[in-house]
Amino acid sequence: MVMRATLCHVINNNRLLLKKATRGISKGKWNGPGGKFEKGETPEQCAIRETLEETGITMHRPFFHGKLYFFMDGKRRLSIEGFLFSTKSFSGKIKPSEEGPVKWFDIGKLPKNCMWDDDQYWLNLMLSGRRFDAYIYYDKSNKKVIEYRIRLLKG
């Protein structure tokens, strides 16, 4: 069964808010907040809720970039359908949660060696406000991307 989830990025000037996951498939990695849908939630509602729960930040006017399709474990079968959002409009103060610590990083000094391998292929598109869908194929260990495709969208 395909998992549906959100991935959210809060941008403040030239900084990106990341969370270091303490559990799950992202354990030990710095990543944007996000997670699985609750029953009846829209992608935007899920993005706002997950960001608040994991960072203490309330997103305002989240921008929908597109979808990230993840094919994990070296398989050609879709594992995760991710809805990618970002915002530069937010309120609140960052605070850690049971999901992990949160920290602002200068965009030019992101902890790339401790982030998902696929970020290198689409993160700059997201930071520049582009809309796109990305198809990401991971190896059996889920450590390295073995294939990817990005389709730019209008708008």
- Number of helical H runs and strand E runs in the chain: 2, 10
pLDDT at 112: 96
Q: List C-alpha distances in Å: 37 to 81, 85, 112, 126, 145.
A: 11, 14, 27, 21, 25
Q: What's the distance, Cα to Cα, between the start and end of the chain in Å? A: 31
pLDDT band at 155 (very low <50, low <70, confident <90, very high): confident
Residue 144 pLDDT greater than 90, yes or no: yes
Domain 3-152 has CATH 3.40.50.1240: no
Residue 27's pLDDT band (boundaries 50, 70, 90)? very high
Ramachandran category for residue 92: left, alpha or beta (phi over 0 → left; psi -120 to 50 → alpha): left
At 24 the pLDDT is: 85
Instruction: Provide φ and ψ at 34, rounded to 5°.
Output: 155, 180
**Per residue in 41-83, pLDDT tens?**
999 999 999 999 999 999 999 999 999 999 999 999 999 999 9
CA atoms within 13 Å, Cβ hemisphere of 54: 30
pLDDT single digits (tens) 113-133: 999 999 999 999 999 999 999
pLDDT of residue 48: 98
Percent of the chain with pLDDT over 70: 100
Question: How far apart are the C-alpha atoms of 146 and 89, rounded to whole Å?
Answer: 35
Q: What pTM did the predictor assign?
A: 0.96
DSSP helix/strand/coil, 64:
strand
Mean residue pLDDT across the chain: 97
